[in-house]
């Protein structure tokens, strides 16, 4: 993919050819590679290593990174397009990519020094290794500033103690590290929160058993424990005391990606509902001929259209170097609600079949709720939007 994508004058109503070509490639991959094994991995709660490997070979983990660090020379719009196409058929696969790139590799790309980038990025952008983002704690979710995990300097090392929860991509066989936020001191009466790279083979760093989740069953998610986990001082990521601020910027980018993923989920519900409504008959007619069904699907399509415009507008601003934060908050809010609303409506349209896990809409129904919670709840997005308005 050409570096010119990062300079494109993006018109969200008419994407340049490079983006449309990427969309077609990922759509084919989603239909032919991801979809056939989606129900199996969901049922077995198994991580799709074979799918992830092929995503790496396709270059998806390197999409928004420059070629000099092993990337594909794309941007967040191209990344979002890929996420949308994957989420259409399998949200677990899409979130594995989103977290691997946005939460795993991006902090190192943005804030790492040359040595850290050289050590970790080649494998992360190739998709041969994954990384996690250790922000959330049992007592620090939406209020991530309440971090209690500590990191104390000792003999040229950081000694970390604490716990993290709901950490994606933290316990796979190909996970290489988790970047964690930790309190490294106090300044002006406030906690000094820094970010520190913790390799997965660090003594004292324990990946606890995986969660038993409602959805995203093929996504890897674990609580983590740090008990006198010792890493070199050189594992400090970015400036000491700037870890929380830096991670907030990562979350802003991630909200654009999650909005794209949610839009894909909402689109998948439309696709399945249109197909089913044309095939399913009731009282001698295809149910698509009943206005109650066709109007419900039309409203679902309107939600998708609005969500897509929102996330692509935010991504376009990001690519152009403009302030995109409010756009990201809005996109994340409306797209996550669209995914949940469409999943509910699609399940209703499918009737009893919509409650069977082998049907894609049933998996979307279970998967979509987390989109209104993760990467900042809907309430947090409303708070941030209000704040941008000066309220």
Catalytic residues: 375
Q: Which two tokens stand for residue 123?
A: 């494998």
Q: How far apart are CA 332 and CA 317, in angstroms?
A: 15
Q: How far is CA 2 from the centre of its chain?
A: 24
Alpha-helical segments (H) within 199-286: 243-279
H/E element, 333? helix 325-350
Categorise residue 127: left if φ over 0, alpha if ψ from -120 to 50, beta otherwise: left
The whole-angstrom separation of Cα 51 and Cα 91 is 13
Cα angle for residues 126, 372, 382 (degrees, 5° grid): 115
Calculate the alpha carbon distances from 73 to 18, 30, 33, 118, 255 in Å: 12, 22, 24, 17, 21
Contact 377, 303 (CB under 8 A): no
Token representation of residue 106: 């991006």
């Amino acid at each position: 993919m050409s570096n010119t994508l990062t300079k494109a004058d993006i018109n969200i109503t008419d994407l340049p050819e490079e983006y449309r070509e990427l969309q077609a490639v990922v759509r084919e991959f989603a239909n032919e590679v991801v979809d056939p094994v989606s129900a199996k991995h969901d049922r077995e709660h198994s991580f799709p290593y074979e799918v992830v490997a092929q995503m790496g070979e396709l270059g998806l983990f390197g999409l928004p990174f420059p070629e000099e660090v092993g990337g594909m020379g794309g941007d967040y719009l191209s990344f979002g397009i890929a996420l949308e196409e994957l989420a259409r058929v399998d949200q677990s696969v899409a979130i594995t990519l989103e977290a691997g790139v946005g939460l795993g590799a991006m902090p190192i790309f943005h804030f790492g020094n040359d040595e850290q980038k050289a050590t970790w990025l080649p494998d992360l952008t190739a998709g041969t290794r994954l990384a996690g983002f250790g922000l959330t704690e049992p007592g620090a979710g939406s209020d991530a500033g309440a971090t209690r995990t500590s990191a104390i300097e000792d003999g040229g090392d950081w000694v970390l103690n604490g716990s993290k929860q709901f950490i994606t991509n933290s316990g796979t066989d190909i996970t290489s590290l988790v970047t964690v936020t930790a309190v490294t001191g106090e300044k002006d009466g406030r906690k000094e929160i820094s970010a520190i790279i913790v390799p997965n083979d660090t003594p004292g760093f324990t990946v606890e058993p995986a969660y038993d989740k409602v959805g995203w069953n093929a996504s890897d998610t674990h609580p983590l424990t740090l008990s006198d986990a010792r890493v070199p001082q050189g594992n400090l990521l970015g400036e000491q005391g700037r870890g929380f601020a830096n991670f907030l910027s990562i979350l802003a980018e991630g909200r654009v990606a999650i909005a794209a993923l949610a839009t894909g989920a909402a689109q998948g519900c439309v696709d399945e509902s249109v197909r089913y409504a044309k095939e399913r008959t009731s009282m001698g007619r295809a149910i698509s001929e009943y206005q109650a069904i066709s109007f419900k699907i039309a409203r679902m399509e309107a939600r998708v259209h609005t969500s897509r415009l929102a996330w692509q507008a935010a991504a376009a601003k990001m690519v152009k170097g403009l302030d995109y934060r409010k756009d990201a908050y809005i996109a994340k809010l409306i797209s996550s609600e669209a995914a949940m609303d469409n999943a509910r409506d699609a399940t209703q349209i499918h009737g009893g079949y919509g409650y069977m896990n082998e049907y894609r809409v049933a998996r979307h129904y279970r998967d979509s709720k987390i989109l209104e919670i993760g990467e900042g709840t809907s309430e947090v997005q409303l708070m941030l939007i209000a704040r941008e308005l000066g309220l």
